[in-house]
Structure formats: C-alpha cells, structure tokens
Amino acid sequence: MDFQDGFVKENSHVEWKGIAFVLTGALLFSAKAVVVKLTYRYEISAIGSLFFRMLFAFPFLVWMAWSAEKETEKPNLTKKDYWNVLLMGVVGYYLASLFDFVGLKYISAGLERIILFIYPTLVVLLSFFFLKKKIHMREIFSLILTYTGVFLAYGQDVQLGSPKDVSLGAFFILLSALTYAIYLMGSGSIVPKLGAKRFTAWALIISSIVVFLHFFIFGTYKELIQPMSFYLLAFVMGTVNTVVPAVLVSEGIKRVGSKTAAIVGSIGPMSTLFLAYVFLDEPITIVHSIGTLFVLTGVFWISTAKKPKEVTV
C-alpha cells in the first residue's frame, strides 16, 4: 500500500510538473506575437525583426544541438535524409516565421494567433488532397467549426481596421500556418531517425542561417542601429519567446504526452488576445471571443481524435 501510494504521488507530481511546463511554454510562445508587434514601433522591417530574434536565439540553438548530439547515438542517415532536414528547416521555420512576421505588420496579434492555431486542420486537408487519406465525420465537424471561428474573427478585424491590410495580413499568416503544416508532414519520416530534440535544433539552426543570409542581402545597415529598449525586446523575443518555450514544451510532452500537451497548449490564442489587449490596446469583442472558442474547440477535436468510422467526402 505504501509503495502504491508513493507511486501514485510520484506519477501525479510528474504529471503536474509536465502540465506546468507545457502551460508556461504555451503562454511564453503565444506572447511572441505581442513582442513582435512592439518591435514594429521602431524603424524595423519584418526581416529585420526576425533577424534579431534568430540572432539572440542562435547561441542557445547551437547548445541545444550540441547537447542532443551528446545524448544520443549518431543515426545512420542517407543523403536524402540530410536534404530532408535542410528542406524542412527552410520550409518549416524560415518560411513559416517570415510569413508570420510579414503578416504581423498588417494584422492584430490576436487574429494572428487564431489563424496560426489552425495548422492541425491544414495537415488533415493536405493529407486528404495529396496523400488520399480519408476524412472522418468528427474531422468534418471540426473543420466546419474551426473555419467558422476564423471567419468570425477575421470579419470582426475587418470592421475594426483596414479591410485591405487585414486581408493581406491574414493571407500571410495563413501561408505561415500552411508551411508549418507542410513541415509537420515532411518531418514525419526523419524525426524517428534523428529524434525530436535533435531534429528541431538542427532545423532551427538551418532556418537561422537562411534568415541571416536573407537579411544581409535585403536588409539595411540602418536597421542594425536601434535603441537599447529594442535590443531588450529582441532578446526577450529570441530567448523567452523562442528557446525557453521550445525546451519547456518538449520536456512537458515527455511527461504528459502529446495529447495532454495539445489540450493544455490550447490556452495560447486566449492568452494572446489578453496580452494584446494589455500591451497593444487591441480590443477584445464578443465576436472575437466566440470565434476563438470555435477555433479552439475545432482544433481540439481534431488534435485529440481517435480513429472513428471513416466517411467519404
């Protein structure tokens, strides 16, 4: 009895510790959009802000890759695997991040998080169109609910701001979600060989190098000279909103599993709405809240679904 009680308490402690990790990581990562919007109050372009984010994150990413290499045996990778890692680093983190930062020039942080959050539904749609996978009835209802929520939030932002800017920003954020969904699908074959931690670290390092090259070609020297307050924001963006949540979520998933992590992480869009209200004076309306609730519910159903009976669509 004493052994069983101790075992239950130990498991409970590990579970709550894992949930705390995932929750903290989700909150920190969701705050990224707000910090990016704050950097745009300075004379900085989207690629300039992204450059500083990856610049401050880069030393920690190198450390993550180095520690991952030490912890596990070197896998037997083919030339195709190396190209896959390179491609996924460019698509999943460079392009997804670039589209995200460009979109945030035109769109509210709250709507950005709502649109980005739909990437699991895009994986389902891409799998249906390109991999010929069936869509289940639960997934159909989830898709309808999710995209109804997106359109509600989008329509509200159009009424509150410039329709042209909101539409342009929403388009770029949708591209960001799409490229991240492609990354998730493309990384499925290489993650079991490399391990999630090692693969993520190398993909981020590759994307950082591409971001640096992009800035050196198209950025300006003037953007490098900023007030100290900007550098502090950029440091927070590169560490607190990038590296720290990546580590916390990874450790949390080890303890509670991906499904529980997905449930806990769903707090992200709501926290972004609140933080954007506090720090950016972005309004929170009933329509925003309903749209966000629809998206959270739809994505939750898809992310936690088992394999029910299939239906042809």
Q: Residues 225-269: pLDDT tens digits?
A: 999 999 999 999 999 999 999 888 888 877 887 777 777 888 888
Mean residue pLDDT of the chain comes to 87
Q: Could you tell me if residue 288 is inside a domain?
A: yes
Question: What's the pLDDT at 306?
Answer: 55
- Distance CA(38)–CA(214), nearest Å, equals 22
Q: Residues 49-103: pLDDT tens digits?
A: 999 999 999 999 999 888 888 876 766 777 888 898 899 999 988 999 999 999 9
Q: Could you tell me if residue 201 is inside a domain?
A: yes
Q: Residues 277-309: pLDDT tens digits?
A: 999 999 988 998 999 999 999 998 887 765 443
Q: Could you tell me if residue 10 is inside a domain?
A: no
Q: What is the rounded average pLDDT of the residues 135-162?
A: 92
Q: What is the rounded average pLDDT of the residues 189-213?
A: 88
Q: Could you tell me if residue 313 is inside a domain?
A: no
Nearest to 35 by CA among 240, 284, 253: 240
Question: What's the pLDDT at 154?
Answer: 95
Nearest to 174 by CA among 202, 160, 153: 153
Whether 123 and 184 have beta carbons less than 8 Å apart is answered as yes
Whether 230 and 44 have beta carbons less than 8 Å apart is answered as yes
Question: What's the pLDDT at 149?
Answer: 95
Q: Could you tell me if residue 4 is inside a domain?
A: no
| Total domains present in the chain | 1
Question: What's the pLDDT at 72?
Answer: 67
Q: Could you tell me if residue 11 is inside a domain?
A: no
Q: Could you tell me if residue 9 is inside a domain?
A: no
Percent of the residues in the chain that have a pLDDT greater than 90, as a whole number: 57
Question: What's the pLDDT at 142?
Answer: 92
Q: Could you tell me if residue 111 is inside a domain?
A: yes
Maximum average pLDDT range among 16-30, 33-47, 268-282: 33-47
Domain that holds residue 53: 16-69+78-304
User: Predicted confidence band at 122 (pLDDT cuts at 50, 70, 90)?
Assistant: very high
